[in-house]
Structure 1
């Protein structure tokens, strides 16, 4: 019997070159928190780390719907953002907040569908 399926989640990989605020831990954390809120996701917690003067930050916002994470390299004028959402979260809204706030000169996004939820009610063998 054929079945219909939908992805369980979506995973976005964002690359930013020439972005602003890559050394500012509070700024970076606020962007991830605002993006999670815009997506309609539930924030469970956050952990951020600054690597010291002249260097970047790394951090994760843990969501009931999965996570958002970032690593910045101001010395290379680069940031990598990872967003994984499931449920009814709005991935595009999260991406727009992050793009708008970082104001990167060059931005690229790759979106990958993750998992497969079967709609027919049958379980995989």
Structure 2
């Protein structure tokens, strides 16, 4: 069965804390990682937070590359979502790990859009080494795949931007940056960035399918409220929601729930 997208969940431990706390350095490294992967930048934004952490995203034609850093723990989490076989995600991830000075990193690959079920492949060990005990495990990542949506609700950024922003704001999350754009051929994509928070949406109107992701510190954002708001607006025939705990280097825990409407 053909996948519609690939989503890499990256955990980077024992990084250089000086690099992780420098927004310019993190930005330049991610931009170069994007080039190394043969991805094509549309826009980007990076923010320094009061605790010296950095949150940032590169919106690419193929989807997005994002990062959240934790200098005190010498740790970072990144996501690389693409829908093009021409992108070499693993090359970009290897560059990112090298330049962040990661002494230990790993990633999992999630194939998105498989019908009737997507497949998560874990773990993929990129570099050998022990798991880090003090990783910032209080991170949650909700992955939502929805099928059977009326194509008239998808395919253009103006159709998804307003409902998506309303759903994020309904959770009480402060939005630092957002970008929505149309794909060159068909479909639309959007990214919302906050402090150690991001939410993304990518749609394929020809399949009546939408891929949604919400990552945040546990207890800070009600991801289920965002999901409920989006489902009520999109009205998919059925959806799969996967909940992951980020911060575990090789084996992110996850629970999957399938809902038919």
1:15 aligns with 11
Distance 1:75 1:96 in 2: 22
**From 33, 47, 50, the counterpart of 1:49:** 47
**What do residues 18-63 of structure 1 show as CA deviations (whole Å, max 9, x unaligned)?**
10211011111111111111111110010110013x5210001000
What CA RMSD, in Å, does the superposition of the two structures yield over aligned residues?
1.8
2:103 aligns with 105
After TM superposition, the score normalised by the length of structure 2 is: 0.41
Summarize the alignment of residues 22-101 of structure 1 with structure 2, pairs less than 5 Å apart. Answer: 22-52=20-50, 55-87=52-84, 88-101=86-99
Structure 2: runs of 5+ lacking an equivalent: 116-206, 209-261
Q: Give the length in aligned residue pairs.
A: 114
DSSP 3-state at the match of 1:6: coil
- 4+ residue runs over 2 A deviation: none
Structure 1: runs of 5+ lacking an equivalent: 118-122
Higher relative contact order (CA 8 A, sep 6+): 1
After TM superposition, the score normalised by the length of structure 1 is: 0.83
**From 2, 9, 14, the counterpart of 1:6:** 2
